[in-house]
Amino acid sequence: MSIAKGAAPLVILGLTLLPPLASAAGDPFLTVIATRMVIFALAALSLDLILGFGAMVSFGHAAYLGIGAYAVAVLGGMGVTDLGLQMLAAALAATLFALPTGAISLRTRGVYFIMITLAFGQMAYFVFVSFSALGGDDGMALKGYSTLLGLPVLASGTGLFYVSLALLTLALIGLDRITRSRFGRVLRGCRENSLRMQAVGFRPFPFQLTAYVVAAAICSVAGVLLANQALFVSPAYMSWQRSGELIVMVVLGGAGNLIGAVLGALAIVGLEEGLARFSHHWRLGFGLILVLVALYSPGGITGMIRRILPAGRPG
């Protein structure tokens, strides 16, 4: 059984138990942290589709996180608070941005792809910085939470958590099917040797662009959830530093098996919150942990699991 299929149900089950455990501990802030973990797990999962399966290292992926967040702000200001409509609008806006920028970026390879995605991400960042109506560089507070079928489900911290977890679960199932399909096999083949794939009759470009757009749409949904969790939107959501954090989440967890991105996001958000409670200099300890993982487990968290359970194979 693969790590993705074997560990995913256990991870989802473990996350399901977090709000009751937080309630039992008498610390509702733990639910806030758990929600943040799930939201960034969804964003990292979307990046793993193009980074882990397509070897496309995008340093502008956080732009779609910001696009999703601002979709909530814009539609909320127009009186549209339905979560479904906001996610649909966010995915559409992300697609419209990803199609042309992805098509241009995919004309390049290696470090040039990294730099051009960084450039497009920064362009999106500065566009929203220049919008004074949306708060500019300071961002803006939202008037309220999104509604689900007309009900204020997300106004409850527990409600927002379980909605986020449901969307993460759906994304995991959907991406697992995509990556195991003919499309996913071609995408992995392009990662390994694009020239060979062309020789057998597959053009890498349409497959890579499709994956790029799908990843952007999923990340924008994470942005919608992040805006509801913070009740605030800011251009900082789409900064290159945020894109770097998403890449670290994928690499730390183990790229190319989906569940690794989820585990990486859970680990990083958990470490940030946990270490910050002990010291203001928590980044030193955090950096040391990342160095140790890079040195002794190049495959990340899922690499450790493979060594502990040698029968497991990447999903």
pLDDT tens, N- to C-terminus, the chain (315 residues): 354 556 788 888 888 888 888 878 777 788 889 999 999 999 999 999 999 999 899 999 999 999 999 999 999 989 899 999 999 999 999 999 999 999 999 999 889 999 999 999 999 999 999 988 888 888 899 988 999 988 888 988 899 999 999 999 999 999 999 999 999 999 999 888 888 888 888 889 999 999 999 999 999 999 999 999 999 999 999 999 999 999 999 999 988 889 999 999 999 998 888 887 777 777 888 888 888 888 887 788 888 887 777 654 444
Q: Is residue 147 part of a domain?
A: yes
73: domain range? 8-239
pLDDT for the residue 59: 93
pTM above 0.85, yes or no: yes
Q: Is residue 39 part of a domain?
A: yes
Query: What whole-number distance in Å separates Cα of residue 145 and Cα of residue 169?
Result: 22
pLDDT for the residue 88: 97
**DSSP secondary structure string for all residues of 62-79:** HHHHHHHHHHHHHHHHTT
Q: Is residue 219 part of a domain?
A: yes
Q: Based on the structure, what is the number of domains in the chain? A: 1
CA count, 13 A, side-chain hemisphere, 280: 0
pLDDT for the residue 250: 94
Q: Is residue 295 part of a domain?
A: no
pLDDT for the residue 310: 60
User: In the 8-state DSSP scheme, what is residue 147?
Assistant: B
Query: What whole-number distance in Å separates Cα of residue 117 and Cα of residue 102?
Result: 8
pLDDT for the residue 11: 87
Q: Is residue 278 part of a domain?
A: no
Q: Is residue 69 part of a domain?
A: yes
